[in-house]
């Protein structure tokens, strides 16, 4: 499993680096699951959502499992309003995400 | 009533300036920090729309942002001198669509519509004017 930890604010400026990191992990390939641990992420705009969508589509193409965990209230509400909460497996914390993937 | 204005050029590099302007307003008005993010998001989405649509060719739009707190309602007005463009005319994406059918785009304006209590667009004196209004909690929650 690969864990990516976006921290702080995923606004238009920050989403470029996040996209590069997600694309690096996707390009590395492999069958392992990808976990995006959002415990330290307190803001996401549509620019950040776009990168989550890239991750979801890339994992789907590669046959990889993608999971999210620890969404903070503002991020959770943006996911809910966008319909993104239904597109991802979202776990309350990292331990739950690892248990669900059989990696605990 | 507290009212503050910030004027920037319509370039992506100015987004941190506007985010800082909003945070400074929030502190000055004594508003609880947890209520800021819907306005941060609305400001980012509205401004980035002007950056993408309001500056054709080499021209750069001039953008004014006014924040006005009146009682428990905060109004964010963003105006620019770019060509006529109504962001509220952007259709909302189908938020029930499955992953295969999801495309990026349109989500920003959708979020602004859902997060704000009132949204309005007008073309006034050769400027686009987007007005966004939402009630804010003016007192911190009890400890």
Q: CA B22, CA A67: separation in Å to the nearest integer?
A: 33
In the block, residue with structure tokens 């109004």? B75
User: Contact at 8 Å (CB) between B92 and B73?
Assistant: no
Please provide the size of chain A in residues: 104
Q: Is B11 on the interface with A (CB under 8 A)?
A: no
Residuewise pLDDT in 10s, chain B (143 residues): 999 999 999 999 999 999 999 999 999 999 999 999 999 999 999 999 999 887 777 889 999 999 999 999 999 999 999 999 999 998 889 999 999 899 877 899 999 999 999 999 999 999 999 999 999 988 766 66
ipTM for the predicted complex: 0.93
Question: Encoding tokens for residue B37?
Answer: 């993010």
Sign of the dihedral defined by the CA atoms of residues B130, B133, B138, B141, in that order: negative
* pTM assigned to the model: 0.94
Which chain A residues are within 8 Å of B108, Cβ to Cβ? 45-47
Record: contact B44-A74, CB cut-off 8 A:
no
């Amino acid at each position: 499993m690969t864990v990516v930890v976006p921290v702080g604010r995923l606004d238009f400026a920050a989403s470029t680096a996040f996209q590069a990191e997600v694309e690096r992990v996707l390009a590395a390939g492999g069958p392992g699951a990808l976990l995006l641990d959002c415990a330290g992420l307190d803001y996401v705009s549509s620019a950040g959502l776009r990168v989550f969508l890239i991750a979801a589509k890339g994992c789907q193409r590669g046959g990889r499992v993608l999971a999210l965990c620890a969404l903070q209230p503002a991020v959770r509400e943006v996911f809910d309003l966008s319909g993104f909460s239904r597109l991802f497996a979202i776990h309350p914390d990292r331990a739950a995400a690892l248990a669900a993937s059989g990696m605990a | 009533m507290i009212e503050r204005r910030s004027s920037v050029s319509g370039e992506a590099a100015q987004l941190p300036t506007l985010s800082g302007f909003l945070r400074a307003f929030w502190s000055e008005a004594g508003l609880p920090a947890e209520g800021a993010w819907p306005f941060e998001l609305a400001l980012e989405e509205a401004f980035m729309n002007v950056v993408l649509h309001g500056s054709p060719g080499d021209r750069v739009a001039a953008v004014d942002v006014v924040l006005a707190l009146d009682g428990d309602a905060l109004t964010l007005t963003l105006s620019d001198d770019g060509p006529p463009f109504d962001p509220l005319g952007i259709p909302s994406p189908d938020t029930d669509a499955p992953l295969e059918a999801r495309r990026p785009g349109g989500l920003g304006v959708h979020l602004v519509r859902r997060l704000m209590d009132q949204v309005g667009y007008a073309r006034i004196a050769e400027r686009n004017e987007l007005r966004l209004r939402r009630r804010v909690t003016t007192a911190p929650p009890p400890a």
